[in-house]
Structure 1
Amino acid sequence: MTTLPAPGATPPGLARRFAALLYEGVLLFGVMFFACFVYVVLTRQKDALFGLPGYVFAFVVPALYFVTFWTRSGQTLALKTWHLRIVDGHGHPLGTARALARYALGWLWVLPGLSLWQFGVRGWALSGALLGWMLLYGALSRLLPHRQFLHDVLCGSRVITQLPLRS
């Protein structure tokens, strides 16, 4: 049994949250690789995830991954490794609607930076703009309640430290 943190508990530091985000990206790459392989084989496409059905698939698979973990235990493997948990304002795992909202709003991490693609920004300039936006977005958490990210504030979720119980 896990104990719920106090609503005013100190949030985890940015370094741990960024480390978990990086690790999550590595794990999600594996999930997407396998899912996309199955998709390409089943649809017999030669151009990977080309077209609207492929784009929808690439958006839905991570949604299923995150929403499933956030609503059950509040922890993906990366969050469990870094002793972090996603909870609602009362310290409970997220409901489905809140988890879906968090997933959709989580795209704020990358969409503003990637939107520069439409203005002809490519290569290292796009990578630098994306990295710069992500650092700015992360730094914004210093100004928000409980030092949470903007998408967490907007959907009413929190990232907390969840240390394993000692036996």
Structure 2
Amino acid sequence: MTEHPPDNRPALTAPSLRRRMACWLYEGMLMFGVVFIAGYLFSTLTQTRHALDNRHAQQAFLFVVFGIYFTWFWAKGQTLAMKTWHIRVVDRHGQALTQSRALLRYLLSWLWLLPPLAVSGLFKLAGGELTVLLIGWIVIWALLSRFHPQRQFLHDALAGTRLVHHLSPAKR
């Protein structure tokens, strides 16, 4: 019987859609802390006294802060939520992301939200209608991953990245 040497390369299998969406929701909850601290910092630095003052500047600031947060952690392989759900982001070949690829993934990940927000702005939809449209788009976007050969989201395919199942060396 011939013995094969162990393969040290990580398996590039995609986590289940359920696990990826649970991670996505958990990431959203963790982002409340990032938004709180960044919003407080912005309001303090700009001396904003009313919540609607400087609203667009604050949104742009949060966009940059989110970009820094996700680009930093994705270039290291995982955010806190991804560690919790044993998910890692890698490039097509299973290697760590570069900062530029992580930034590209961040920009393309806005496809989760921008189309329904654009439709809402175009048709001046109310909050309830926007919520239904946003939830419907997220469900469709997530289900589209079932048609990708490696079960990846469209923004990952476009960015040349992929989400993979990952156990830390201590848990193997």
When the two structures are superposed, what TM-score results if normalisation uses the length of structure 1?
Answer: 0.91
Amino acid at match of 1:5: P
Return closer, same or farther for 1:115/1:141 CA change in 2, 3 Å cut-off. same
Structure 1 residue aligned with 2:22: 19
CA drift at 1:51: 4.5
CA distance in 2: counterparts of 1:4 and 1:52, whole angstroms: 45
CA drift at 1:4: 4.1
CA distance in 2: counterparts of 1:93 and 1:67, whole angstroms: 12
Q: What is the RMSD of the two structures over their aligned residues, measured on CA atoms?
A: 1.5
SS in 2 for 1:45: coil
Structure 2 residue aligned with 1:95: 98
Contact 1:145 1:153 in 2 (8 A): no
SS in 2 for 1:116: helix
| 1:2-41 matches, cutoff 5 A | 4-6=9-11, 9-41=12-44
CA drift at 1:79: 0.1
Structure 2 residue aligned with 1:144: 148
Aligned length: 162
Structure 1 residue aligned with 2:49: 46
Structure 2 residue aligned with 1:155: 159
Larger Rg: 2
SS in 2 for 1:146: coil
Return closer, same or farther for 1:4/1:65 CA change in 2, 3 Å cut-off. farther
Contact 1:4 1:92 in 2 (8 A): no
SS in 1 for 2:162: strand
Match of 2:129 among 125, 134, 138: 125
Q: Detail structure 1 runs of 4+ shifted over 4 Å in the superposition.
A: none
> Which range moved further: 140-149 or 44-53?
44-53
- Structure 2 runs not aligned, ≥5 long: 1-7
Structure 1 residue aligned with 2:3: none
- Report percent identity of matched pairs: 47
When the two structures are superposed, what TM-score results if normalisation uses the length of structure 2?
Answer: 0.88
